[in-house]
Structure 1
Amino acid sequence: MKTSSVELNPNRLVQYLKKPVTEFTKDDIIKFIKENGIKMLNFRYVGGDGRLKALNFVITSEEHLDNLLSTGERVDGSSLFSYIEAGSSDLYVVPKYRTAFVNPFEEIPTLDILCSYFDKDGNPLASDPANVLKKARQVLNEKTGYDLQAMGELEYYVICDKEAVDMDFPAVDQRGYHEDGPFTKFGQLRKDALMAIAEAGGLIKYGHSEVGNFTDDEFYYEQNEIEFETTDIEDSADRLIIAKWILRMIGQQYGVKITYAPKITVGKAGTGLHIHMKLTKDGKPVMIENGELTDAAKKVIAGILDVAGGVTAFGNKVPTSYLRLVPHQEAPTNICWGDRNRSALIRVPLGWAGDASKMITKANSNYAEDLKDYSGKQTYEFRAADGSADVYGLLAALCVGARHGLEMENGLKNAEELYISNKNIFEEEHKDTLDKLDHLPASCWESAETLIAQKDVFMQYDVFTEGMLEGVAADLKAFDDYQLSEKLYGKNDEIKALVDAHIHCA
């Protein structure tokens, strides 16, 4: 008899309460705190800079704890978001019970819990990126009947003094993909993070070393990745935010620097935050039919591609983002989609369809179980975003794109016109195809301009607010980086200074 998902779940609250996180109640949280010696409670919430903030409470009584978990607390919104004015800045932060986890770093037993923002009238804050994601997801479902699951590929670099690692087994420069010890140096850090993230509720698919590795005169750089399972899009955003914080904290314990910066130096692999999505209806995947992408799945692709320039305003938020999005690399620059194609903005990866579901019987001659249909694992991957992203805003923008595509009259036609199969569009023989494709923005400035030009799509059905979009655009334009890539060409010292300035983005 197979064990239940609750039995094998590494989240300590799930194990103790014997129920999934979606069923957590206030009484469950209080019970866990009382019976597990928890002394402190941390409210967590994301600021406009994309980082996880904290408000710490010493638990003094059950009544005190009950009040905190029932009412939340006040915070200064103008210190958290640039577009909230000081004169009307009081906000509430109210805990989301499903996100509770035991803090793995505190010496004092502590429970952390993510919070939602509410305004003075007790309504969800209209411009809170997490609330915008909730609205985007609700509108998608209400207007089309579909839903969108998501997950992220969290890439990061470990940076340390060169003298601190054993170089007797050097990794081959830019050949670190799925490498292992002794040729990688921080596999244990990655595995520690995998466990801590899983225990905090993250649905981990796998972890591995990535392409990027190199040394300079002072430092050793090693790229790694943690990939998640597709799940509820709001929960996916929450868990990604927690995972980024956990990785940084573990890096601090190891005495190394963890960075999600999109570009470290010229000629070396950049760092992305690829987002996989899965279209569902009534809780079931609807990506594949008879081994092919469904019309609905193609319409979603068309819609996201149609607003892709505006999506970069949430997915690529620092000037070094656009040093990664350059031609002839695996990061996309043109608005198109294709199969298994890493030069495309949206890639349709392998999906276990058709005869691929029978591979297990060829690998194992004694396989005795009935074959299942695994085509529900199929996703599509948005490849432009990077670690500077506003995770909630990015996933909300992708939800808007999905809804936009499903409502577009010419969605299927647009999808067909932007399909490049598995072509390398930068090869000379495909020049005609490349010339027909629109470009992604090449700077924060262009991204802001595109967002404002497309704002009617993002504001439709009151998903994004105009003030929020204008605030995002203003923050991007403040970098004053129009044509910066061209201006910095060949100026490695200036590029390094720019990278250093944004090394701790989001």
Structure 2
Amino acid sequence: MTSGNLSATEQAVLDEIDEKGVDFLRLQFTDILGTVKNVSVPARQAEKAFTEGIYFDGSSIEGFVRIQESDMRLKPDPETFAVLPWRDNEESAAGRMICDVINTSTGEPFAGDPRYVLKRALERASDMGYTINAAPEPEFFLFEEDEEGRATTKTNDAGGYFDLAPKDLAQDVRRDIIYGLEDMGFEVEASHHEVAEGQHEINFEYDDALTTADNVGTFRTVVRAIAAQHGYHATFMPKPIARINGSGMHTHISLFTEDGENAFHDDDDEFNLSSEAKSFLAGILEHAPAITAIANPTVNSYKRLVPGYEAPVYVAWSDRNRSALIRRPAARVPAASRIELRSPDPSCNPYLALAVMIHAGLDGMEQGLEAPDPVRENIYEFDEVKREEYGIETLPANLGEAVDALEADEAIYSALGPHIGPKFVEAKRQEFEEYIVEVSEWELERYLETF
């Protein structure tokens, strides 16, 4: 395939499609709730996808548009092309490209596209003279399936943190997932069994924030697909089993100047953090309740955010312990100086989560906010009186409180834009209202015969 109307990158994609025998393209995008969607087209449509876009009915996607505004266009990003590491049959290969969503009536980016929301956050950073790198650590569970192929909550091992075989029986699954990720361009740094039985973590190298958000969606897709090939169900649900550790997605962030220097590093500071880093950190602490609605977007998220299971619930920062919301990880070299937000979970929409973290941090920098002193003690061991003495607030206790905090925080709510803000709040209020009228098995067991 050749065309004079294509960029060099687009032409390189067409050449790779020919070279690798790709028959179908999955054009992916993400809805407001973070679910990856795709439109599958024959590979021969690739050039048309680049030059004209691929049209689809936006009214069929949750929270996108009303029926009378339904025409949307997918514009593939050629930088995201990858051949999927699994095949539907022996002879057919499929490729993937992540797309921006375009409003056909205006030709402008669709305000309801989460990828566009993150791009706007990155534009704000660029206007201030910064680029942003990010690295998430998404955890997941592997569960056995029943005879009908449905997910159970039965784990396939009894392993714990960093365990080896025979307790960690999922090493082969993780190995194949890593191979699949590497085939799609990931640089995997490490993988290990996590604290809970059946829980795993695979860390991939940091990248610019947009690529990182793209990678989270790809990661979840690859993990699920390859786990299914092994007969397991992979879930990124934050707390699938009661009374054990849930799955988080600790997120590392750093800012770099236009000349490539790490804006977060300062050799002369006690913590090697610059004033910019501390203001950015302070901004995230300031807006933490609102961020929680986006970074922890399900009813189930708040079953993880409770004391006693290593999940952060206290709005503080530390340079040495993991009980605080934000941690300054040890950095071997100045370029590695960063902060780590420990509250997000892997059910979140990565584009929106990174966008609100970035806007919160930049707001802290623009306001010149000063970070409080770090808390070096284990906050989990504090009683309420001591927490008040230190001025430590807690994150919202449930999805309802978090959505209230989001709506009340003008800086974060407006950062989502006029489409996603109201649609997200509407969807999450409905989810919480449906939850609170349900009667759980726990309630029946505890009260049915007692009262």
Smaller-chain TM-score bracket: 0.7 to 0.9
Q: Which residue of 1 is the match for residue 416 of structure 2?
A: 464
The residue type paired with residue 426 of structure 1 is Y
> Quick one: which of 428, 437, 450 aligns to 1:476?
428
Alpha-carbon distance in structure 1 between the residues aligned to 2:286 and 2:300: 24
Contact 1:103–1:110 under 8 Å retained in 2 = yes
The residue type paired with residue 296 of structure 1 is E
> Quick one: which of 24, 35, 60 aligns to 1:79?
60
Alpha-carbon distance in structure 2 between the residues aligned to 1:170 and 1:398: 35
Deviates more, 1:40-49 or 1:151-160: 40-49
The alignment partner of 1:132 has SS state of helix
Alpha-carbon distance in structure 2 between the residues aligned to 1:197 and 1:122: 34
The alignment partner of 1:238 has SS state of helix
Evaluate the alpha carbon distance shift between residue 482 and residue 381 of structure 1 in structure 2; reply closer, same or farther with a 3 A threshold: farther
Q: Which residue of 2 is the match for residue 390 of structure 1?
A: 349
Give the superposition deviation at 1:162: 10
Contact 1:332–1:344 under 8 Å retained in 2 = yes
Q: Which residue of 2 is the match for residue 425 of structure 1?
A: 379
Matched positions, count:
424
The residue type paired with residue 40 of structure 1 is F
Alignment of 1:54-203 (within 5 A): 54-60=38-44, 64-106=45-87, 107=89, 108-120=92-104, 121-142=106-127, 144-160=128-144, 171=158, 176-203=160-187
Counterpart check, 1:306 vs 2:281: no
Give the superposition deviation at 1:90: 1.2
Alpha-carbon distance in structure 2 between the residues aligned to 1:329 and 1:492: 26
Q: Which residue of 2 is the match for residue 251 of structure 1?
A: 227
Deviates more, 1:181-190 or 1:35-44: 35-44
Evaluate the alpha carbon distance shift between residue 493 and residue 250 of structure 1 in structure 2; reply closer, same or farther with a 3 A threshold: farther
The residue type paired with residue 427 of structure 1 is E
Alpha-carbon distance in structure 2 between the residues aligned to 1:483 and 1:96: 38
Q: Which residue of 2 is the match for residue 287 of structure 1?
A: 264
> Quick one: which of 392, 401, 404 aligns to 1:446?
401
Alpha-carbon distance in structure 2 between the residues aligned to 1:24 and 1:236: 23
CA deviation vs aligned residue, 1:243-298 (integer Å, no higher than 9, x gap): 10000001110111101111122211101111111121123212222162111111
Give the superposition deviation at 1:432: 2.1
The residue type paired with residue 240 of structure 2 is I
Q: Which residue of 1 is the match for residue 304 of structure 2?
A: 324
Evaluate the alpha carbon distance shift between residue 82 and residue 256 of structure 1 in structure 2; reply closer, same or farther with a 3 A threshold: same
CA deviation vs aligned residue, 1:96-120 (integer Å, no higher than 9, x gap): 0010000122231221111110112
TM-score (norm 1): 0.78
The residue type paired with residue 247 of structure 1 is V
The residue type paired with residue 71 of structure 1 is E
Contact 1:444–1:482 under 8 Å retained in 2 = no
Evaluate the alpha carbon distance shift between residue 473 and residue 30 of structure 1 in structure 2; reply closer, same or farther with a 3 A threshold: same
Give the superposition deviation at 1:430: 8.5
Alignment of 1:235-250 (within 5 A): 235-250=211-226
The alignment partner of 2:202 has SS state of strand
TM-score (norm 2): 0.88
Give the superposition deviation at 1:54: 1.9
The residue type paired with residue 171 of structure 1 is A
Give the superposition deviation at 1:58: 2.0
Alpha-carbon distance in structure 2 between the residues aligned to 1:251 and 1:208: 15
Evaluate the alpha carbon distance shift between residue 69 and residue 325 of structure 1 in structure 2; reply closer, same or farther with a 3 A threshold: same
The residue type paired with residue 472 of structure 1 is F
Stretches of structure 2 that go unaligned for 5 or more consecutive residues are: 1-6, 148-153, 447-451
Evaluate the alpha carbon distance shift between residue 304 and residue 35 of structure 1 in structure 2; reply closer, same or farther with a 3 A threshold: same
What's the C-alpha RMSD, in Å, of the aligned pairs? Answer: 2.7
Alpha-carbon distance in structure 2 between the residues aligned to 1:457 and 1:211: 33
Contact 2:290–2:412 under 8 Å retained in 1 = no
Contact 2:291–2:412 under 8 Å retained in 1 = no
Counterpart check, 1:339 vs 2:316: no
Evaluate the alpha carbon distance shift between residue 433 and residue 92 of structure 1 in structure 2; reply closer, same or farther with a 3 A threshold: same
Alpha-carbon distance in structure 2 between the residues aligned to 1:67 and 1:428: 61
Evaluate the alpha carbon distance shift between residue 491 and residue 159 of structure 1 in structure 2; reply closer, same or farther with a 3 A threshold: farther
Alpha-carbon distance in structure 1 between the residues aligned to 2:310 and 2:121: 29
Evaluate the alpha carbon distance shift between residue 189 and residue 398 of structure 1 in structure 2; reply closer, same or farther with a 3 A threshold: same
Alignment of 1:40-59 (within 5 A): 40-59=24-43
Q: Which residue of 2 is the match for residue 416 of structure 1?
A: 372
CA deviation vs aligned residue, 1:149-204 (integer Å, no higher than 9, x gap): 101101000011699xxx9x9736xxx11111111010111111112112212232
Evaluate the alpha carbon distance shift between residue 310 and residue 188 of structure 1 in structure 2; reply closer, same or farther with a 3 A threshold: same
